[in-house]
């Protein structure tokens, strides 16, 4: 018998077996078809993001109801590329009881009504989202110690107007210096100004302006922003600092952005305290949003040539021609000056861009 005959016998022995007879351990995950469809999370609760700390989000759910409670959450993996910031209205699922040791999950963000952003500098196109859904910005400056910086305030105003947020201005430390000359810089702007008297801040007046609003507080380090926040919200406990007598700069005391509830005699509002900053990049700003904030001037500017900068040297600018013909009131001329100053701030930013 040859070896070929042995092979035939082996084939006969194994002809009753095939791979389907081999038992394998089931693997549900491996056998599950892949899909990009995500759960609808129709049972998600809506909550206000009050603060962010090392990947954990403090969220207030049931706001304004007897069931109001604070919960701790993390973000769902599909949201890892989306910035979730203070002021966001988040959709949360999981254990939303708020009991100690529980952790819920943010699975979505309700469409935002506004976004306050800044870039690291004027040439940086990467934006940093500071706060969501604010409708007011309270700019805090000191009359002295540190010296007020009109150009920095201009940048705050440009960012606010770009975001569609109403700006307010508070001047502290007026017992040290008279802010009158500094405030003339903002003549013509629709800007409500609060000033201290005998080093006493008009806390009640400022508080009344916060009711039914979400107001983000911004300001240079050392201007008294945290002190004002603590006066408005006694339970805030925001750290306060002093100004370095050598450099004239304030020390950063608030290290994170946080929402605090203001409780006034006639209602409530939200105070959003932010860390003090010494610069405010405008790399993300759309200059058309600045003009839109000056409603009456925007109507005249419709007759400007395409691409008009509206600056003092702009050829055939309808705004400048209207001013030259005396068609603008004294207030209108002051507002035009303010508009041109803010647009110049943005133009200076463009000149600093790479390749210029």
Q: Are 279 and 260 in contact (CB under 8 A)?
A: no
First and final C-alpha spacing in the chain: 92
Place of tokens 């005998």: 198
pLDDT at 241 over 80: no
- Predicted model pTM: 0.77
| Separation between Cα atoms, residue 284 and residue 141, nearest integer Å | 24
pLDDT at 270 over 80: yes
303 three-class SS: helix
Distances in Å between the Cα of 89 and the Cα atoms of 51, 95, 144, 234, 276 are 12, 18, 38, 25, 24
Residue, of 41 and 230, whose pLDDT is higher? 230
Residue, of 16 and 322, whose pLDDT is higher? 322
Name 15's Cβ contacts closer than 8 Å, sequence gap at least 6.
none
| Separation between Cα atoms, residue 296 and residue 141, nearest integer Å | 29
Instruction: Please give the pLDDT value at position 251.
Output: 44
Instruction: Please give the pLDDT value at position 21.
Output: 56
Q: Are 208 and 264 in contact (CB under 8 A)?
A: yes
Q: What is the pLDDT of residues 114-139, one digit of tens each?
A: 999 877 666 556 667 889 999 999 99
Q: What is the pLDDT of residues 102-114, one digit of tens each?
A: 999 999 999 999 9
pLDDT at 246 over 50: no
Q: What is the pLDDT of residues 70-87, one digit of tens each?
A: 999 999 998 988 899 999
Q: What is the pLDDT of residues 326-349, one digit of tens each?
A: 999 888 888 898 889 888 877 776
Of the ranges 3-12, 70-79, 249-258, 283-292, which one carries the lowest mean pLDDT score?
3-12
Average pLDDT over residues 146-153: 87
Q: What is the DSSP letter of 302?
A: G
Q: Are 287 and 293 in contact (CB under 8 A)?
A: no
How buried is 198 (Cβ within 10 angstroms: 0-12 exposed, 13-18 middle, 19+ buried)? exposed
Cα angle 148-162-142, degrees, rounded to a multiple of 5: 15
| Separation between Cα atoms, residue 229 and residue 218, nearest integer Å | 11
Instruction: Please give the pLDDT value at position 253.
Output: 47
Residue, of 16 and 146, whose pLDDT is higher? 146
pLDDT at 319 over 90: yes
Q: How confident is the model at residue 17 (pLDDT cuts 50, 70, 90)?
A: low
Instruction: Please give the pLDDT value at position 204.
Output: 94
pLDDT at 183 over 80: yes
| Separation between Cα atoms, residue 342 and residue 340, nearest integer Å | 5
Tell me the percentage of the chain whose pLDDT exceeds 90: 47
pLDDT at 5 over 80: no
Cis bond upstream, residue 157 (ω within 30) = no
Q: How confident is the model at residue 321 (pLDDT cuts 50, 70, 90)?
A: very high
Average pLDDT over residues 299-324: 94
Name the token pair of 30.
Answer: 């491996």
pLDDT at 12 over 80: no
| Separation between Cα atoms, residue 275 and residue 269, nearest integer Å | 20
Helix axes 225-232, 203-210, angle to 10 degrees: 80
pLDDT at 243 over 50: no
pLDDT at 210 over 90: yes
Signed CA dihedral, 293, 295, 297, 302: sign only: positive
Q: What is 90-118 written as a DSSP string? A: EEEEE--S--TT--EEEEEEPPPS-EEEE
């Amino acid at each position: 018998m040859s070896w070929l005959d042995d092979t035939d016998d082996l084939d006969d022995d194994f002809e009753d077996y095939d791979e389907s007879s081999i038992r394998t351990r089931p693997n549900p995950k491996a056998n599950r078809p892949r899909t990009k469809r995500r759960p609808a999370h129709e049972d998600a609760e809506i909550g206000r993001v009050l603060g962010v700390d090392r990947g954990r989000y403090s969220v207030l759910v049931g706001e304004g109801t007897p069931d109001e409670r604070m919960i701790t959450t993390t973000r769902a993996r599909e949201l890892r590329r989306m910035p979730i910031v203070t002021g966001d209205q988040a959709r949360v699922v999981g254990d939303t009881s708020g009991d100690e040791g529980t952790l819920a999950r943010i699975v979505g963000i309700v469409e935002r009504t506004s976004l306050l952003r800044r870039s690291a500098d004027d040439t940086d196109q990467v934006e940093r989202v500071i706060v969501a859904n604010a409708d007011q910005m309270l700019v805090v400056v000191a009359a002295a110690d540190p010296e007020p910086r009109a150009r920095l305030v201009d940048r705050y105003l440009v960012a606010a107007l770009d975001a569609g947020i109403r700006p307010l201005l508070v001047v502290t430390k007026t017992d040290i210096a008279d802010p009158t000359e500094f405030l003339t810089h903002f003549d013509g702007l629709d800007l409500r100004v609060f000033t201290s008297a005998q080093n006493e801040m008009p806390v009640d007046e400022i508080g009344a302006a916060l009711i039914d609003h979400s107001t983000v507080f911004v300001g240079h380090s050392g201007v008294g922003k945290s002190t004002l926040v603590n006066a408005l919200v006694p339970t805030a406990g925001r750290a306060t600092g002093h100004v370095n007598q050598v450099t004239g700069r304030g020390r950063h005391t608030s290290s994170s952005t946080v929402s605090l509830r203001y409780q006034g005699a006639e209602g409530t509002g939200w105070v959003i305290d932010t860390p003090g900053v010494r610069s405010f990049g405008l790399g993300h700003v759309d200059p058309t949003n600045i003009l839109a904030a000056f409603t009456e001037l925007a109507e005249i500017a419709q007759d400007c040539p395409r691409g008009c900068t509206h600056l003092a040297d702009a050829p055939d600018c309808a705004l400048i021609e209207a001013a030259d013909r005396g068609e603008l009131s004294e207030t209108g001329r002051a507002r035009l000056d303010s508009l041109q100053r803010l647009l110049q701030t943005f133009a200076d930013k463009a000149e600093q861009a790479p390749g210029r």
